[in-house]
């Protein structure tokens, strides 16, 4: 139980972050290069771990690369790491996004200097060093939050993650960055503190004097206590995810954060919420999860439709993408709380794909904003004619966001809806309407910014250069490859989802045929 590989995975970006923080100011280029090297090294190492991961239905292999060291003895807290299939694919997605974000925000990390009105005032440039060091620090916490197998340790990473993100939004964000950063921090902190109460409650009521996940599963007594504790975890994760009605911080944070920060915020940080549902809410509180499933499913469906309508009405591109993400999280929510293997697997795959596709969308918009110095849709028009490569990438990102067949997002959306349909027909049918709305808001966005008459200011735009293509290339490739051949990823996810469904005590319903119309329940 002293496998150090996950510890090493955490150590690489941590070392990189320390190195960059320690650099003298002014060495911006070196800071960027170091950040790139360390983030690529982390990704490579994560891929190596992915190949070493054993796909098996044996429960003993649920968590792999386990390492555990005593941290605070009197609480029973361990520095314990281990990954199941769900955590592994999410770590893979996160470690891929970081180097991509580093490359993409090479010259455009500073939304303050980019904003039109301030750029004119010649505001001082912010330190690139701090930005890239914060990115790597954030990566440490992101990996930690997925890899922790001790509930206390998970909580520590969950909260610590806020701090670098807060500074990324607050220091490098758009004009309303202060408001957005504080709103983001307070929302998350409130959720985190409710979760802290529940963490203590789980520990006390389970009576195992250990915070290890595997020690706690099945030890939380049923009844009212479990329901309250479930709500403590659930609200924290619902704020993070975010699920309607806990979502109002995301449009602000997503719009004001620098493009790279927004990609990580929506692509990875928000996944911690849905990951938390699967890893903690369901196994720790099976009875309460079943009890609350219906209301959560309904909230998720409301979220899908409500956020999609709001997305259509946005004039700010980044706000629009933030709202689309809220709609997508509704899909993940129904996939998880349908309690079917298909739904669960689809939801996990959705998390990965959504990270890739929204990450790509935010990055592309970031590149566009860096050229046009404005986030408003109305400031662009006919851009694709001037910058065909940017337009093409934008289109691809959009199509993956609306889950066109052939894109990886289609597979996950399909699986999620299929898994939900076998148990909750009505929910699945209403949710399907979200797909149509998604096509509307994505295509409208594309049409308004990329098609139509070419605006005067757009004429001077430069097309994507090699660095920018290198940044978006891996994401596009992965979206296409997983769209055609998702089997390796699904194979990794599937056993972990099955274990979770066993924990929650649900088996997949028999396939519903036309002869059994009453098959849902």
Partner 1 sequence: MSALTAVPANILAAGTNNGSFVTPSISYAAIAPILIVLAAACVGVLFEAVLPRSQRFYAQVALTLAALLAAFIDVIAIRGHSVVTASRAIAIDGTSLFLQGTILVLGALAVLLLAERGVEPGSAIVAQAAVVVGSPADRRLASSDRVQTEIFPLALFAVGGMLIFPAANNLLLMFVALEVLSLPLYLMAGLSRRRRLLSQEAAIKYFLLGAFASAFFLYGVALLYGYADSANLSDILRAQNTSTQSDTLLYLGFGLLIVGLLFKAGIAPFHSWTPDVYQGSPTPVTAFMASCTKIAAFGAILRVLYVGFSVSNWNWRPIIWTVAIASIAVGAVVGLTQTDVKRILAYSSIAHAGFILMAVLAQNAQGQMDVSGLSSSLFYLAAYGLTTIAAFGMVTLVRDGNGEATHLSQWSGLARRSPLFAVTFTFLLLAFAGIPLTSGFTGKFVVFRAAYHSAAPLVVIALIGSAIAAFFYLRIVVMMFFAEPAEDGPSVVIPSALSTIAITVGTGATLVLGVFPQPLLDLADHAAKLRG
Minimal distance, residue 322 CB to partner 1, in Å? 21
- Cα three-residue angle 86-89-94, rounded to 5 degrees: 120
CB nearer to partner 1: give 101 or 229.
229
Backbone angles phi, psi at 233, to 5 degrees: -65, -45
Stretch of 160-168, 241-249, 462-470, 497-505 contacting partner 1, by CB under 8 A: 160-168
For residues 72 and 23, the answer to whether their CB atoms sit within 8 Å is no
For residue 519, the 8-state DSSP code is G
Query: From the list 74, 122, 510, 513, which residue makes contact with partner 1 (rule: CB under 8 A)?
Result: 74
CB nearer to partner 1: give 156 or 321.
156
CB nearer to partner 1: give 62 or 183.
183
Stretch of 69-77, 234-242, 275-283, 333-341 contacting partner 1, by CB under 8 A: 69-77
204 binds partner 1 (CB under 8 A): yes
**Ranges within 165-184 binding partner 1 (CB under 8 A):** 167, 170-171, 177-178, 181-182
Minimal distance, residue 143 CB to partner 1, in Å? 16
119 binds partner 1 (CB under 8 A): no
442 binds partner 1 (CB under 8 A): no
444 binds partner 1 (CB under 8 A): no
Residue 470's contacts (CB-CB under 8 Å, 6 or more residues apart) are 103
CB nearer to partner 1: give 194 or 302.
194
186 binds partner 1 (CB under 8 A): yes
Query: From the list 30, 41, 200, 430, which residue makes contact with partner 1 (rule: CB under 8 A)?
Result: 200
285 binds partner 1 (CB under 8 A): no
Each residue 127-156 as x (binds partner 1 by CB under 8 A) or -, in order, gives: ----------------------------xx
Query: From the list 54, 73, 487, 521, which residue makes contact with partner 1 (rule: CB under 8 A)?
Result: 73
For residue 78, the 8-state DSSP code is E
Minimal distance, residue 151 CB to partner 1, in Å? 12
194 binds partner 1 (CB under 8 A): yes
Q: How many residues bind partner 1 (CB under 8 A)?
A: 29
Minimal distance, residue 87 CB to partner 1, in Å? 20
203 binds partner 1 (CB under 8 A): yes
> Max CA-CA distance within the chain?
72
CB nearer to partner 1: give 171 or 289.
171
Query: Which residue, 250, 434, 195, is CA-closest to 330?
Result: 434
CA separation for the pair 393, 93 (Å, rounded)? 19
Query: From the list 196, 217, 298, 454, which residue makes contact with partner 1 (rule: CB under 8 A)?
Result: 196
Strand partners, 67: 2, 81
For residue 196, the 8-state DSSP code is H
- Cα three-residue angle 226-231-234, rounded to 5 degrees: 120
122 binds partner 1 (CB under 8 A): no
For residues 82 and 153, the answer to whether their CB atoms sit within 8 Å is no
69 binds partner 1 (CB under 8 A): no
Strand partners, 64: 83
For residues 137 and 13, the answer to whether their CB atoms sit within 8 Å is yes
**Taking the mean position of all CA atoms in its chain, how far away is CA 207?**
33
Residue 514's contacts (CB-CB under 8 Å, 6 or more residues apart) are none
CA separation for the pair 187, 359 (Å, rounded)? 22
CB nearer to partner 1: give 200 or 440.
200
Query: Which residue, 162, 196, 161, is CA-closest to 182?
Result: 162
Minimal distance, residue 156 CB to partner 1, in Å? 4
Query: From the list 15, 19, 36, 190, which residue makes contact with partner 1 (rule: CB under 8 A)?
Result: 190
Query: From the list 15, 19, 197, 418, which residue makes contact with partner 1 (rule: CB under 8 A)?
Result: 197
Query: From the list 159, 256, 316, 413, which residue makes contact with partner 1 (rule: CB under 8 A)?
Result: 159
48 binds partner 1 (CB under 8 A): no
Query: Which residue, 339, 157, 344, 328, is CA-closest to 241?
Result: 328
Query: Which residue, 162, 33, 130, 147, is CA-closest to 81?
Result: 147
CB nearer to partner 1: give 185 or 275.
185
| Token couple for 61 | 């292999």
3-state secondary structure of 419: helix
CA separation for the pair 247, 254 (Å, rounded)? 11
CB nearer to partner 1: give 41 or 197.
197
Q: Which residue has the tokens 């404005």?
A: 374
Task: Give the DSSP per-residue string, 10-78.
Answer: HHHHHHHHHHHHHSPTT-HHHHHHHHHHHHHHHHHHHHHHHHH------GGGSSEEEEEEEEEGGGTEE
CA separation for the pair 367, 248 (Å, rounded)? 25
CB nearer to partner 1: give 131 or 499.
131
Stretch of 200-208, 209-217, 272-280, 473-481 contacting partner 1, by CB under 8 A: 200-208
CA separation for the pair 265, 161 (Å, rounded)? 10
Q: How far apart, in Å, are the Cα atoms of 105 and each of 27, 61, 119, 131, 197? A: 16, 39, 17, 10, 38
Strand partners, 72: 77
Interface residues with partner 1 (CB under 8 A) are 72-75, 155-156, 159-160, 162-163, 167, 170-171, 177-178, 181-182, 185-186, 189-190, 193-194, 196-197, 200-201, 203-204
């Amino acid at each position: 139980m002293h496998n150090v590989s996950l510890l090493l995975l955490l150590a690489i970006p941590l070392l990189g972050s320390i190195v960059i923080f320690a650099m003298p100011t002014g060495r911006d280029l070196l800071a960027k290069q170091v950040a790139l090297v360390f983030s690529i090294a982390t990704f490579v190492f994560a891929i190596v771990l992915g190949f070493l991961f054993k796909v098996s239905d044996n429960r003993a292999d649920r968590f792999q690369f386990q390492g555990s060291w005593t941290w605070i003895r009197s609480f029973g807290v361990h520095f314990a790491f281990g990954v199941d299939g769900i955590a592994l694919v999410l770590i893979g997605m996160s470690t891929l996004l970081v180097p991509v974000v580093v490359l993409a925000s090479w010259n455009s990390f500073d939304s303050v200097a980019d904003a039109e009105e301030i750029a004119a005032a010649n505001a001082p440039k912010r330190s690139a060093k701090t930005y890239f060091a914060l990115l790597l620090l954030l990566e440490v916490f992101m990996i930690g939050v997925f890899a922790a197998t001790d509930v206390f340790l998970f909580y520590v990473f969950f909260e610590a993650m806020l701090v670098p993100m807060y500074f990324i939004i607050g220091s490098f964000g758009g004009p309303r960055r202060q408001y957005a950063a504080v709103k983001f921090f307070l929302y998350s902190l409130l959720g985190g503190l409710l979760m802290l109460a529940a963490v203590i409650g789980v520990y006390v009521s389970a009576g195992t004097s250990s915070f290890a996940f595997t020690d706690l599963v099945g030890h939380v007594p049923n009844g009212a206590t479990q329901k309250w504790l479930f709500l403590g975890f659930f609200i924290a994760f619902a704020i993070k995810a975010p699920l309607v009605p806990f979502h109002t911080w995301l449009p602000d944070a997503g719009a004001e954060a620098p493009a790279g920060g927004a990609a990580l915020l929506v692509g990875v940080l928000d996944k911690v919420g849905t990951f938390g549902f699967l890893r903690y809410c369901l196994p720790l509180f099976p009875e309460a999860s079943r009890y609350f499933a219906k209301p959560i499913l309904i909230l998720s469906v409301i979220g899908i439709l409500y956020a999609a309508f709001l997305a259509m009405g946005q004039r700010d591109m980044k706000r629009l993408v933030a709202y689309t993400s809220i709609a997508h999280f509704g899909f993940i929510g129904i996939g998880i709380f349908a309690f079917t293997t298909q739904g669960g697997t689809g939801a996990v795959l959705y998390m990965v794909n959504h990270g890739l596709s929204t990450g790509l969308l935010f990055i592309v918009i970031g590149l566009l904003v860096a050229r046009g110095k404005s986030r408003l849709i109305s400031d662009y028009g006919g851009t694709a004619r001037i910058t065909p490569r940017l337009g093409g990438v934008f289109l691809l990102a959009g199509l993956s966001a609306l889950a066109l067949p052939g894109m990886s997002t289609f597979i996950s959306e399909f699986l999620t809806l299929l898994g939900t349909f076998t148990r909750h027909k009505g929910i699945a049918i209403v949710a399907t309407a979200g797909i149509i709305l998604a096509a509307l808001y994505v295509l409208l966005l594309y049409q308004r910014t990329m098609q139509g008459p070419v605006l005067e200011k757009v004429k001077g735009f430069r097309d994507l250069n090699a660095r920018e293509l290198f940044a978006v290339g891996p994401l596009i490739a992965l979206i296409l490859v997983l769209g055609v051949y998702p089997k390796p990823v699904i194979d990794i996810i599937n056993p972990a989802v099955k274990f979770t469904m066993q924990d929650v005590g649900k088996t997949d319903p028999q396939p519903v045929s036309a002869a059994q119309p009453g098959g849902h329940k």
